[in-house]
Structure 1
Amino acid sequence: MLMMITGGSGSGKTAFALKLAEKFDHAGIWLVSRWPDKDAEQIAESVYPWKIIETHPILPEIIDTINVNSNPFVTNSRVLVVDNIAVWLYHEAKLIAQREQDDDRMHRLMAERADTLIESITAYQGTILVITNEMNGYWDEVDIHKILFHHWLPIVNARLTAKCSQLFLLTSGVAVELTSRQVRLGGN
């Protein structure tokens, strides 16, 4: 089961995801794209035995490894929190922009990495909570890695949202479940 948690920076996404994950089992894995020093208090207060793995820059590969090496008979009771795909995607855009000069090639490489991430998340057997950031407003960027990031994050978010069973939006620590409230426009 795929669940997504989105919102702005500092909206409480991580705290909400960790509390939500505690409802699924007695242990979980927390994959972080940056070491969660600021979240140490959340872990200390929790009775939930978290295993924390720093994932940057190999997030999709770590998800695949956990999926392949886990006991298939406990898929219904395992929970994985991925924190945060926006941070991971930003670093991917920065690495690609440092190595490449051609715009088309940069977008192809970003598309490949985005596909790899989406495939690893959707192939995960068990409960996976994916934290991301919401892109608000227009950014007038000149740095190519920021342009790549601002182009690709909404695409990745939309593709994962189409596959998730629940989507939560957090604002100032308040979560709203959006999946049951969605309105489809057009012929779909």
Structure 2
Amino acid sequence: MLWLITGGIGSGKTEFANELARSLGREGIVLACPPFPDRPLSEQRQAEWANDPEFPWTHSDADETLAHKLTAINMESNIFRADRRVLVVDSLSGWLRGLYMRMENTLTDDEAAVDGVWHEALAAILSYEGKMIVVTEEPANGLSINRREQGYAYRLAAANRVLLEASACLYRMTAGMATEVKGYRLKRGKSTNENIYTDR
């Protein structure tokens, strides 16, 4: 089952993802990367994933091997442990920025190459069979952006739509407050089908 958390930079997505994971399971795996690839994870953000005797975390980097890590975790999970464990990807938007930087550093300006790695990561997320929380952003742009920024914005926006369709809940973070945009508390007012979105 997939939960999606979106919002702007510094809006409290990581803190909420940690809180949500604790409500969904008994242990967690976090694949984390900084929002911007040229800046390391802040001490505050690293502290969010500190080990807790009541809810232990396993840490790994969300790097160029993200798709392989997701697949390996999915394949190696036994059915008894999978139900108590929550996997957090924090964040997909930061990982996509990192992908662009890695391509730039290798002097690769090939949209097809970016698409190949990007779609591989999305496929791994969508095929994951356990509990997963994906942290992402909603791309915002001004009047004039270059070609690379356009590619980033459109790829992330398209991915968010796909993940929304596959998710059980979507939360939007604003200044540290979570708003449930898609979930079980949004009602139609009909006795036969109270949820706006079908249960998955």
TM-score normalised to the size of structure 1? 0.84
Unaligned runs of 5+ in 1: none
Among residues 130, 135, 140, which one is paired with 2:134 in the alignment?
130
Instruction: In structure 1, give the amino acid aligned to 2:108.
Output: E
Return closer, same or farther for 1:45/1:51 CA change in 2, 3 Å cut-off: closer
Q: Quick one: which of 118, 122, 133 aligns to 1:114?
A: 118
Which structure shows the higher helix fraction?
1
User: Where in structure 2 are there 5+ consecutive unaligned residues?
Assistant: 35-40, 189-195
Higher RCO (Cα < 8 Å, 6 or more apart): 1
What is the DSSP-based 3-state SS (H/G/I as helix, E as strand, rest coil) of the residue aligned with 1:81? strand
Among 154, 158, 163, the residue aligned to 1:155: 158
Q: 1:57 to 1:182 in 2, by over 3 A?
A: farther
Aligned to 1:31: 31
Correspondence for 1:70 among 66, 77, 81: 77
Write the letter of the residue equivalent to 1:29: I
| Paired residues of 2:50 and 2:57 also in contact (CA < 8 A) | no
Deviations 1:151-172 (CA, angstroms, capped at 9, x unpaired): 2111111111111111000000
Q: 1:106-134: per-residue Cα shift (whole Å, max 9, x none)?
A: 1x223222221121111112110000011
Number of paired residues? 179
Alignment of 1:4 with 2:4, yes or no, is yes
| Post-superposition CA distance 1:55-109 (Å, at most 9, x none) | 21221111111111221333222210100000111111233345334xxx41x22
- TM-score, length-normalised on structure 2? 0.79
Indicate if the aligned counterparts of 1:5 and 1:13 stay in contact, CA closer than 8 A: yes
Aligned with residue 164 of structure 1, among 161, 164, 167:
167
Q: Secondary structure of 2:20's match?
A: helix
Identity value in percent: 27
- The one-letter code matched in structure 1 to 2:44 is K
Distance 1:86 1:77, change over 3 A: same
8 Å contact 2:11–2:174 — kept in the other structure? yes
Runs of 4 or more, structure 1, over 6 Å off, are: none
Letter in 2 for 1:81: V
Report the AA paired with residue 40 of structure 1.
Q
